[in-house]
Structure 1
Amino acid sequence: MHLNGPLPTRRPTPPPAHRRTLARRWATGAGMLGAAFALLLGTPGTATAAAKLPPKNEVRPGEAWMGSGVREEQQPPGGIGTLSHGDGVQGIDVSHWQGAINWNSVRGSGIQFAWTKATEGTSYKDSRFSANYSGAYYAGVIRGAYHFARPNSSSGATQANFFASNGGAWSRDNLTLPGVLDIENNPSGAMCYGLSQTSMRSWILDFYNTYKARTTRDVVIYTSPSWWNTCTGGWSGMATRSPLWVAHWTSNHTPTKPTGFTAWTVWQYTSSGSVPGVAGNVDRDKFNGDRSRLLALANNTP
């Protein structure tokens, strides 16, 4: 039997009983080898092991994910099993760090929506975006794309155009959510990317205006209370423009909102969640409303 390697050294034919034992051993070895290849290649229907996340403050450009900066300021709660977190319309957010995902299993576990990383800055595209975006769609998960902001590398307009051209587009098909501007603590350097509060406000508004001109949609803003209050001065200028996705990893019944926002639309309540079909930890999210309101957000209807 050939197992993608050199043939074993020929030996005298063993007696029948030994031949059966040897065959079982070869079959076991082949099965283990096949399972290893399936794990490495991400066979459909299985979730490959998630990659190990880089240490804090060592996230290189292109490697960031939703929450990679939030962990600089928050610690994941010890448990997330409270009713206030686990009930309602549940979702996740993912990137290449989760590896291959079994989206049918994800949907079967009750997850109704997901945002997946598409782009970062002006030159990075997530390697698993296409697989995640289409996989979620065909499994019936209401999906969307997000852009990890790097305000120190280019203008808001430049990054919004890059995002819209590489996964951030939108269509009214009952399964596509508007794009997300992920703007949070810099996981690779200075918290506010070297921008003043005034400059940061202008950068965000520039991104918003450009994205809306490209897609007709208001971009969703993902951020944490600490970052928004520090780097924008608790700016209220986006409260009537963008739905808020607040990152607050807590066991409390409700999240703390950034100053300047009066309501939250999505709540990322932990970075250490568990969902069938996803290997390792995954961010867990909750929508502030029932499924009909989630579909209204997706389809841009009242």
Structure 2
Amino acid sequence: MPLFRTPRTPLAPRRRLGRRRALAATGALAAAFGMLIGLSPGAAAAPQDDPVPLGHAYMGMGVDKDQNPPSGIGIAGHGDGVQGIDVSHWQGAINWGAVRGAGIQFAWMKATEGTTYKDPRFNTNYPAAHAAGVIRGAYHFARPNSSSGATQANFFASNGGAWSRDNLTLPGVLDIENNPSGAACYGLSQTAMRNWILDFYNTYKARTTRDVVIYTSPSWWNSCTGGWNGMATRSPLWVAHWTANHSPSLPGGFGAWTVWQYTSSGSVSGVSGNVDRNKFNGSRDRLLALANNTP
């Protein structure tokens, strides 16, 4: 029985390289344009100081930076139990009927990032997963250096992160992980980061009545919050730990996990290329209890 209030890819190499090449191309084009108009090489390269533009981040991008596992790690032995995936526009068109037919019972999908970005595939993925019988939810990729937690929580709740008791909708997720574009902790102290997360949590709960799920890795949480235990009794934990071990390592301050992202290089019928694979800590009945906010 899961404790609800506890207390990419390496995408397939082809898909991961596609992301990285797209990002590198942005910087290369900026540099070429700068040279064309007569800027110095240093000035032309300036856009590369932010190598992951707003909207290009995805769940696990920061985890890849602090774990960097070999491709495929964590897949073997974890295919039992209640299985799920997480996706964003990087996966392209998804056949949700095939996903459900492959035994996937739940999925979280990217809805927003920062305070302005909306994932272009969300409005297709969200209802299509529901129609296929996949218990679905939305996630927000946090950019704590761009605005307050409250501002981002409101943006998320207004653009996909809302919740309804319809037997198929999970509470929203705060994806808080290694900064893909600079200092790992976004330039915030441990105290400031704790306050930012609590600000997001309080605002999201006021908007939706639900406790936001926290997605993070042990390395990032321990470093950037100091292993804070302040969310253990508030938020279900979705831990990212890509390992072949039988259980994940936990961030400091948490005593149990509700969802475990055990690999970034899984495969599922209906999804082109590799996809993050996840396991729920309990039965389908308990997953539905989390979705419906019932005991």
Give TM-score scaled by structure 2 length. Answer: 0.83
| Number of matched pairs | 253
Q: Is this contact kept in 1: 2:75–2:262, CA < 8 A?
A: no
User: How many angstroms does 1:62 deviate by?
Assistant: 1.3
| CA deviation vs aligned residue, 1:149-176 (integer Å, no higher than 9, x gap) | 0000000000000000000000000000
Alignment correspondent of 1:105: 98
User: How many angstroms does 1:50 deviate by?
Assistant: 5.8
Is there any run of 5+ residues in structure 1 with no aligned partner, and where? 1-48
Alignment correspondent of 2:267: 274
Of the candidates 151, 157, 160, which is equivalent to residue 164 of structure 1?
157
The answer to whether the aligner puts 1:127 opposite 2:93 as a matched pair is no
Q: Is this contact kept in 2: 1:221–1:244, CA < 8 A?
A: yes
SS of the residue aligned with 2:269? coil
User: How many angstroms does 1:60 deviate by?
Assistant: 1.6
Is there any run of 5+ residues in structure 2 with no aligned partner, and where? 1-13, 24-49
Distance 2:190 2:234 in 1: 19
Of the candidates 222, 234, 239, which is equivalent to residue 241 of structure 1?
234
Alignment correspondent of 2:170: 177
Q: Is this contact kept in 2: 1:248–1:267, CA < 8 A?
A: yes
Alignment correspondent of 1:54: 20
Distance 2:54 2:163 in 1: 26
- What pairs up with 1:1-302 in 2 under 5 angstroms? 52-54=18-20, 58-77=51-70, 78-83=72-77, 85-302=78-295
Q: Is this contact kept in 2: 1:151–1:193, CA < 8 A?
A: yes
Moved over 6 A (4+): none
Distance 2:293 2:156 in 1: 20
Q: Is this contact kept in 1: 2:75–2:266, CA < 8 A?
A: no
Distance 2:276 2:85 in 1: 6
SS of the residue aligned with 2:196? helix
Q: Is this contact kept in 1: 2:74–2:245, CA < 8 A?
A: no
Which residue identity lines up with residue 291 of structure 1 in the other structure?
R
Instruction: Name which one, 1 or 2, has greater alpha-carbon Rg.
Output: 1
SS of the residue aligned with 2:19? coil
Distance 1:79 1:222 in 2: 19
* Identical pairs, percent: 79
Q: Is this contact kept in 2: 1:50–1:99, CA < 8 A?
A: no
Give TM-score scaled by structure 1 length. Answer: 0.81
Q: Is this contact kept in 2: 1:76–1:271, CA < 8 A?
A: no
